[in-house]
A and B are shown apart, each in its own frame.
Chain A
Amino acid sequence: MVTIKELPREEYLLKGHAACAGCGPSIAIRLLFKALGNKVIMVVPACCTTVIQGPYPYTSVAVPLQNILFESTAAAASGIVAALRQRKMEDITVIGWAGDGGTVDIGIQALSGAAERETNFIYICYDNEAYGNTGMQRSGATPYGAWTTTTPSGKRERKKDMPFIMAAHRIPYVATACPSYPIDFVEKMRKARDIKGTKYIHILAPCPTGWRYDANKTVELGRLAVQTGLWALYEIEYGKFKLNSPSDRLVDKAKRKPVKEYLQLQGRFRNLTEEDINRIQQWVDEDWERYRKLTSNSLSDATLHGKI
């Protein structure tokens, strides 16, 4: 296990970048580079990170970075991985870094294709649960009930379960993370680097601008998402599902905080009724029932890979 003190001092996300104050995704980028260093090539589609880099001729990212079309992160990574193999430079880690829109909506085709081709790269979806770049429209990852500019009275559909969709591709590594838990985050990035094949990591990254909360509460909101069980930290390694600390103890319902504690801190959930909140609570409880089953089954042959 790493400790915070052992993380490198070098910064590859430089000072003066253009993210909003309190931006969760920018904390995640910083941690990502701390975990993996600078022997990486990064692919970024249209998203908030396009802006975070800052405008030409400047950049706030001190690793080689290819900006690419919105729906194309995984296709671009495929090209880079192939080129590096031809050049015998396979020690460089290729990272696709895309928002939830660029992943679960418009980019899913390229990502699914790359995963099926067993492309050797890490794909990270940083999920701020809306289209931040274009001003907070709903995405397939926006949760039920959330205000966005295209769901002004709250989204009526549930969030797409992208990590399980990726697990169904039988890739060697799927994980969830959250920058509010930096050690867990860093360890997962490093583990992903050392596994060959397609690795998918879905991180929940709170966004004060879109979620409507005070910029100083980003880390706290990430923690609450985990503590309420709305966001479970887990890994699916070669099909085996495993809850990670601090989520593992939450199988016991009594240890989970009520989702209301998380929801009420955010302006985007202002319109939720009691009934909505109960419904969300029920869905969370159902999810945990599923996690519980997967956890106990994982010791037997009924791994995800076998079942799907």
Chain B
Amino acid sequence: MAQMIIDTANHIAGYAAKAARVKVVAAYPITPQTTVVEKIADFVENGEMDAEYIRVESEHSAMVACIAAAAAGVRTFTATSAHGLALMHEALHWASGSRLPVVMAVVNRAMGAPWSIWSDFSDSLSQRDTGWIQFYCADNQEVFDTIIQAYKLCEDERVFLPAMVCLEGFILSHTYMPVKIPEQKEIDDFLPPYRCGWILDVNRPLSHANLVSPDWYMEFRYMIQEAMENAKQLIPKIDKDYGKRFGFEYGGLLEKYKCDDADLVLVTMGTMASDAKIAVDSLRKEGLKVGVARVRVFRPFPTEEIAKLAEQTKMLATIDRHISFGMEGFLSSEIKASLYNKKNRPLLTGFIAGLGGRDVTSETIKKIAKKSLKQMHAGKVEKETEWVDLRE
């Protein structure tokens, strides 16, 4: 029987690692990630989880230990946040370049200076170009389901890439919600034993990742790009299959809410989409045709889905919990880039909100929507990027 539990997203991530039968966990603590690895430590010590737990001395080593363990033939897991993720940066490239299916929970937290332990996406979005698949979750159930789905995806021979499953610090990490945990046997049916593309094997020696000349390097990069394209095809399929088996489905790469007849679609990520849904319900009551699109997978980016969405609406307003200094929010840029070659592009506007854990309520989102609608009616965007609720 499936089990209903009420727990925080961090503990749920631990449950997911256990359900995935992870064999090596290497981790280093950082707020607000700590309770993920504490939960796993409990599981390992009380014998519920048959895994090695390496209490490394830094996040850099945590990632490297996972890479090497994956290369030595076992399923691996780690979790981190903000500065820990930044410290891993170099190793993130090594994981994807080595084509190893490491899965990691990233508990989103703002980057210093100044210190902030609250959420925004600047930590994981800064890792955009490392060759990792990036999922962004909206609730605790999705955290569990996505970690299982991520292993299924990453260990597919058409992909063989690492993935981060991102969840916002405190908003999800420390919030209790009911979550359905399927029976182990059902998970085992869905997720076969660990597979990777190559292995350190004394009977078939190879030097892995030794120097490549300019004659070869580009081909290796191209293969990662191909794998990302394959992942784009596979993610919706895996999500559907998972939904059929376990009852939860997330729209594959892009989750749409009341978009079919919408004049304005608010595009956002993570938990902000949940508040946006509440805002939309209320706006609909006022007769305003607004919808929400939640970018669930940021890499590979759902370019085609965004383009399709754009065909049927008059305006897209992105709300970014992130800023790329000197430009705009990543989501805004990516959406613009996805639409550049399309005819009949809708109007685009971007908002920066919720940095460093600043609360973004459904009321705030309603304000954003109304501001956007005014511009839509005027047929003109006032500002490319507007900061929401900024102190004067």
Contacts and interface: CB of A to CB of B under 8 A. Distances in A.
Contacts of B62: 75
Contacts of B54: 78-79, 82, 117
Given A86-B23, A87-B74, A110-B57, A79 B208 contact: no
B64 interface: yes
B222 interface: no
Contacts of B69: 79-80, 82-83
A63 B202 contact: yes
A41 B202 contact: yes
A68 B64 contact: yes
Nearest to A40: B202
Contacts of A77: 68
Interface of B: 23-24, 26, 50-52, 54-58, 60-62, 64-74, 76, 90-91, 94, 200-202, 204-213, 216
Contact of A75 (B65, B204, B216): B65
Contacts of A209: none
14 contacts: A50-B210, A56-B210, A62-B205, A64-B204, A65-B210, A68-B67, A71-B60, A74-B61, A75-B62, A77-B68, A79-B67, A82-B54, A85-B52, A92-B202
B211 A51 contact: yes
Contact of B72 (A65, A80, A109, A113): A80
Given A39-B202, A87-B72, A112-B57, 7 more contacts: A41-B200, A65-B208, A68-B68, A75-B60, A78-B56, A86-B23, A113-B61
A72 B90 CA distance: 11
Interface in A93-136: 109-110, 112-113, 116-117
B210 A69 contact: no
Contacts of B211: 50-51, 53-56
B207 A59 contact: yes
A109 B61 CA distance: 9
A53 B57 CA distance: 30
Interface of A: 38-41, 43, 50-51, 53-57, 59, 61-69, 71-72, 74-80, 82-87, 92, 109-110, 112-113, 116-117
A56 B216 contact: yes
B202 A67 contact: no
B210 A64 contact: no
Contacts of A76: 64-65, 67-68
B212 A83 contact: no
B212 to A, nearest CB: 4
CB-CB nearest 8 A-B residue pairs? A113-B57, A79-B68, A75-B61, A83-B72, A79-B65, A59-B207, A79-B69, A82-B52
B83 to A, nearest CB: 16
B140 to A, nearest CB: 29
B52 A66 contact: no
B93 to A, nearest CB: 9
Contact of A64 (B24, B51, B205): B205
B212 A55 contact: yes
Contact of A66 (B61, B91, B208): B208
B135 to A, nearest CB: 24
A110 B72 CA distance: 19
A65 B72 CA distance: 11
